[in-house]
Structure 1
Amino acid sequence: MNLYPIAKTAVSYLFYPLYRIQVIGKENIPEDGPVIICSNHISNLDPPVVGITSPRNIHFMAKGELFQKPILGRLLTSINAFPVKRGMKDRNALREGLSILEKGHTLGLFPEGTRSRTGQLGQPLAGAGFFALRSNAAIVPCAIIGPYKPGGKLTVVYGKPMNMDVYREKKTSAKEAAEAIMTEIGYLITNHRSQDASLDK
Structure 2
Amino acid sequence: MEFYQFARGVVKTVLFPFYRVKVIGRDNFPKEGGVLICSNHISNFDPPVVGIAAPRSLYFMAKEELFKVPVLKGILPKINAFPVKRGFSDRQALRTALNLLKDGNVVGLFPEGHRSKDGKLGEGFSGAGFFALRGGDAVVLPCAVIGPYKRFHPITVVFGKPIDMTPYRERRAKAEEVTAVIMSGIQQILDEYEQK
Structure 2 length-normalised TM: 0.95
**What's 1:185 paired with?**
186
Distance 2:2 2:122 in 1: 33
The residue aligned with 1:141 is 142
Scaled by the length of structure 1, what TM-score is found? 0.93
- The one-letter code sitting in structure 2 at the alignment partner of 1:171 is R
Contact 1:2 1:79 in 2 (8 A): no
Structure 1 counterpart of 2:155: 154
How far apart are 1:2 and its partner, in Å? 5.0
Residue 102 of structure 2 is matched in structure 1 by: 102
1:59 correspondence with 2:47: no
Aligned to 2:32: 32
Structure 1 unmatched runs, 5+: 197-201
How many Å apart are 1:70 and its aligned residue?
4.2
State the Cα distance separating 1:179 from its structure 2 match. 1.3
Listed as ranges, the gaps of 5+ residues in structure 2 are: none
State the alpha-carbon separation in 1 of the partners of residues 87 and 102 from structure 2.
Answer: 26
Q: Which amino acid aligns with 1:193?
A: E
CA distance in 1, matches of 2:95, 2:132: 13
1:22: which partner in 2?
Answer: 22
**Residue correspondences, number:** 195
Q: Distance in 2 between matches of 1:97 and 1:18?
A: 31
What's 1:46 paired with? 46
Q: Deviation string for 1:92-136 (max 9, x for gaps)?
A: 000000111122110000010001010000000011111100021
In the alignment, which residue of structure 2 is the partner of 1:163? Answer: 164
- Residue in 2 that maps onto 1:199: none
